[in-house]
Structure 1
Amino acid sequence: MSAPAAVDDRPLIVHTGPWYFPIAFLARLPFAMMVVGVLTLVVSSTGSVALGGLTSAAVGIGTVLAGPVVGDAVDRLGQRRVLVPLGLVNSALLAAFPFVVAAATADWMLLLTALFIGLTAPQAAAMSRSRLMAIIRERLSVSRRERTFSRTMAYESAADETAFVIGPVVVGILASFIAPWAPVAGAAVLSFVFVTAFALHPTARAASPAAGDEPAVIAPARELLRAPVLVIVAATFAVGAFFGATLTSLTAFMDVQGDVDSAALLYGVMGIGSAVLALAVAVLPTRFALRWRWMLFAAVLVAATAAFTLSGTVTAVTVALAIMGLGVGPTLVTLFSLAGARAPIGRTATVMTVLGSSVALAQSLASAVTGAVAEDFGAETAMVFPLVAAGVVLLLAVVNVAVERRARRVSVASVASVDAGGPVEAVAGGVRDD
């Protein structure tokens, strides 16, 4: 067996190296660009918003189908063995997609290629969370772990927010100044270079089974179906739906205003506040429990989205988007923090990948549905969909409180059984709320 890593009081960046964070950030951009890039290219080439929405939805479906499989493979084989081939295949498919669009004589060819792009999507964000959690757990002293974990999850969520905002902006810039195929080609280059660099970075060893070690303890897959995990998956799905519905309805609104090219830039307004406040969550006191953070920031999101839905001018929409960012960023931080605490033993990469897949799938499906509604019923009707998604996030915050209370009762009953000499029974999906 290999020797365990030394535990010390040095900052996390000393263990990762200074280049890890920029590489990990750039590695997640292809994932953030591919849904919008595929949508933009198909709509530009075919003139059909509905077909573009369906094609981008196929990317999301492929992602969510592959997510649990990829996460399980990473937990068992390590990140390098999985991410390197995935990144290479994904970059090749992205590079080929513009040619498929140009040559396709049937819609199913576009949908099938988009599905395979999603199936091979290397979810660097989920892998980064899993990797950093392993480093914190194995190499940092106990006194530094809790605060470092909180700050790291805040950074990761802010990085996700920034990537999901920068991705559409980059797509808009490349499509406007070069050609509609340029964003997909750019994603292919980024995937080839930075996903490979991320996969080969020395920190990948932290989240990989060591050669010659005994097999790692991995909880059975059924532990992923416990309520404390499922409620988080459902909430991240709702957040993804919020992203997709907001971007698509905003695009439809700006199309009515005669300035559709500015939609991605306006979308970036939401991302600025989202990323900043997501980072600020790290300084919140630990006594401000995660369940109440979720409820508070989800309520802010609902109120701001209601204003967005009722807005009739570009100025009002811009203000509403800025406030929406103040709700969605901290909500994502809270969800991923809860997921890290509740992940079954040995299933961290699986849980993080499932969450990333949920966001991508929901974003794609919401884009498809919202795009079809906008085409048939107009932008005003489409702008109701973000409010529905935000309302689901808030509703699930209430459900989460009930789930936590039930889990505590089960835990207390289990401890009482042990104290009374009864059988010892592990409580899976344990709940931490601070």
Structure 2
Amino acid sequence: MDTTRTATIDVPPHDTRTRDARPRRRTLIQHTGWAYWPIAFIARLPFAMMTVGVLMLVVAETRSVGLGGLTSAAVGVGVVVAGPVIGDLVDRHGQRRVLVPVGLANGILLALFPLIVMGGMPEGAVLGAALAIGLTAPQAAAMSRSRLLTIIGSRLDPERRGVTTTRIMSYESAADETAFVIGPFLVGILAAVIAPWAPIAIAAVLSFGFVTAFALHPTARVRPIVGDAAAERAPIRAVFSTRILILVGATFGVGMFFGGTLTSLTAFAQAQGDEARAGLLYGLMGIGSAVLALGVVLLPARFAARWRWILFSLVLTLAAVGYTSAHDFSSVMVWLLVMGLGVGPNLVTLFSLAGERAPAGRAATTMTLLGSALTLAQALTSAVVGWVAEEVSLAAAMAVPALAGVIVLCLGILNAAASRRAPAASVPPTSRETAQMSR
């Protein structure tokens, strides 16, 4: 076997010399190959586009903001229902066998959705189609995290795993931030330049092409080495432990923040007579957030994850309170920039802790659970905040991001208290090398 090629990450477990001598000295990029990174990034764009794209298409065709919000929420419900199931199937059968049919089904449903909406189908059919889109969402971001964590845990030297894990979680969170900015931005541009159906059609093409390419990439074959602790798959109930559910709750809070900020910012820009400016301002927050997310790797290791969670949640909450009181574009820009400084590092911290706490052989299930919570919260909050902005007040809508920040902060405090009480023996065997980083 030629161990210099990317596909050789599936080194036979019985070959101790090859497994321990050469592959563990290679870097993560040498294991994945350079092509993996752009493929994995573009593969997450359909997921970032579908919620907003469905909303805009339904509103444009039916003139009903209420139906649009319900349709967007249906996508989110489908994601959160199917996410843990898809994650469990991936942990059992591997990413390739699951992602190929799921990605193809999602592409087909996305391609059919404009026909359903524009064909005057009943509201129930529209909501059912949106739910099916969510149920088949491939969640490439969660799969990428799981795939990379598996490579790190089974192919890199133990002394390099902790630092590499932090760097990869920083990159993945920054990539998510960028995708969540580019996704809605592409939806707005394509809808304005071509037609409201165009974003969904483009998302279908990306799902067919790049999700399939991501699923078929050689890294999809990587599995934990037989004989390692990670090879002993924990039962599914282990994923629903308190230590992981607290991360799911915090990720739900971050999703609330995203949905509340985007929708309230759109309502604010509309009230100011410049609705098109909302996307640019939201992108400004996302870019700053992505940059600082990458900067988390520069923080000293003694700055434990539980304290990072609290500090950056406090920054997020205080900035969101300031955003609530903004009355013009200039002040909104300032508060959006500061909010970005808090949300990016929070995502890095939450997903890093999820990687450490994932039960043995359940990395994909854990990551999809967090990703599902993020998407569901964003979809539901967007629908609720849109209603609040129309039926209650703009000020009430702009207060939702602050509420989301408080939720993330309170859960961070609860996590810190629980971490101090937790005995060392409670740390899962798959995370012993990196557990010290979060204590």
Give the structure-2-normalised TM-score. Answer: 0.91
The alpha-carbon deviation at position 428 of structure 1 amounts to 10
Q: 1:118-145 CA deviation, whole Å, 9 max, x = no partner?
A: 0000000000001111111121112221
Q: Residue 394 of structure 1 aligns with which residue?
A: 409
Counterpart of 2:12 (choices 3, 8, 20) is 3
The one of 302, 315, 321 aligned to 2:330: 315
Cα distance in 1 for partners of 2:214, 2:39 equals 6
Task: Give the residue type in structure 2 aligned to 1:352.
Answer: M
Distance 1:105 1:202, change over 3 A: closer
1:42 aligns with 2:51: no
Compute the displacement of 1:154 (Å): 0.4
Change (3 A) 1:273 1:207: farther
For residue 221 of structure 1, report the CA deviation from its aligned partner. Answer: 1.8
Distance in 1, matches of 2:85 and 2:358, equals 16
Q: Does the 8 Å CA contact 1:130/1:352 hold for their aligned counterparts?
A: yes
State the match for 2:7 in structure 1.
none
Give yes or no for contact 1:33–1:171 (8 Å, CA) kept in 2.
yes
The answer on whether the counterparts of 1:49 and 1:375 sit within 8 Å (CA) in structure 2 is no
Moved more, 255-264 or 114-123: 255-264
Looking at structure 1, the residues matched to 118 and 419 of structure 2 have their Cα atoms a distance apart, in angstroms, of 52
Does 2:193 correspond to 1:177? yes
Pairs within 5 Å for 1:103-122? 103-122=119-138
Partner SS for 1:185:
helix
1:36-94 deviation per Cα after TM superposition (whole angstroms, max 9, x unaligned): 11111111112222211111000000000000100000000000000000110101111
2:241 paired with 1:226: yes
Relative distance call for 1:110 and 1:295 in structure 2 (3 A) is same
TM-fit CA distance, 1:301: 0.3
Please tell me whether residue 51 in structure 1 is matched to residue 60 in structure 2: no
Q: Per-residue CA shift, 1:228-253, capped at 9, x if unaligned? A: 11100100011011101111111111
Unaligned runs of 5+ in 2: 1-9, 14-18
Q: Within 2, Cα distance between the matches of 1:427 and 1:149?
A: 16
Q: 1:207 to 1:238 in 2, by over 3 A?
A: farther
How far, CA to CA, are the matches of 1:382 and 1:109 in structure 2?
30
Whole-Å Cα distance in 2 between the matches of residues 42 and 380 of structure 1? Answer: 26
Kindly indicate whether residue 303 of structure 2 is the aligned counterpart of residue 260 of structure 1.
Answer: no
**Larger deviation, residues 395-404 vs 100-109:** 100-109
Instruction: Give the count of matched residue pairs.
Output: 419
1:134 equivalent in structure 2: 150
Task: Mark the runs of 5 or more structure 1 residues left unpaired by the alignment.
Answer: 416-425
Letter in 2 for 1:307: G
Q: Would you say the 8 A contact 1:59–1:115 is kept in 2?
A: yes
Show the 5 A alignment for 1:15-94. 15-94=31-110
| Aligned-partner residue type, residue 134 of structure 1 | T
Aligned equivalents of 2:156, 2:116: Cα separation in 1: 49
Q: Which residue of 2 aligns with 1:351?
A: 366
SS in structure 1 opposite 2:117? Answer: helix
Decide which moves more: 265-274 or 217-226.
217-226
Q: Rate the CA distance shift 1:374–1:262 in 2: closer, same or farther, 3 A.
A: same
1:8 partner SS: helix
Deviation of residue 207 (structure 1)?
Answer: 4.0
Deviation string for 1:307-360 (max 9, x for gaps)? 111111111111111111110000000000000000111111000000000000
Cα distance in 1, alignment partners of residues 26 and 208 from structure 2: 33
Distance in 2 (alpha carbons) for counterparts of 1:3 and 1:252 = 57
User: RMSD of the alignment, in Å?
Assistant: 2.2
Tell me the residue number matched to 1:419.
none
- Pairwise CA distance, 1:158: 0.4
> Equivalent residue for 2:345?
330
Distance change (3 Å), C-alpha of 1:63 and 1:268: same
> Is the 2:239–2:366 contact (alpha carbons within 8 Å) kept by the matching residues of 1?
yes
Q: For residue 12 of structure 1, report the CA deviation from its aligned partner.
A: 1.1
Deviates further, 97-106 or 384-393: 97-106
Match of 2:160 in 1: 144
Determine if contact 1:304/1:321 at 8 Å carries over to the other structure.
Answer: yes
Partner of 1:198: 214
Question: Which string of whole-angstrom CA distances, capped at 9 and with x for unpartnered residues, describes residues 345-385 of structure 1?
Answer: 11110000000000000001101111111111232221111
Deviations 1:234-284 (A, max 9, x none): 000110111011111111111111222222221101101100000000111
CA deviation after TM superposition for structure 1 residue 104, in Å: 3.1
SS in 1 for 2:24: coil
- Are 1:295 and 2:310 counterparts? yes
For the pair 1:166 / 2:175, whether they are aligned, the reply is no
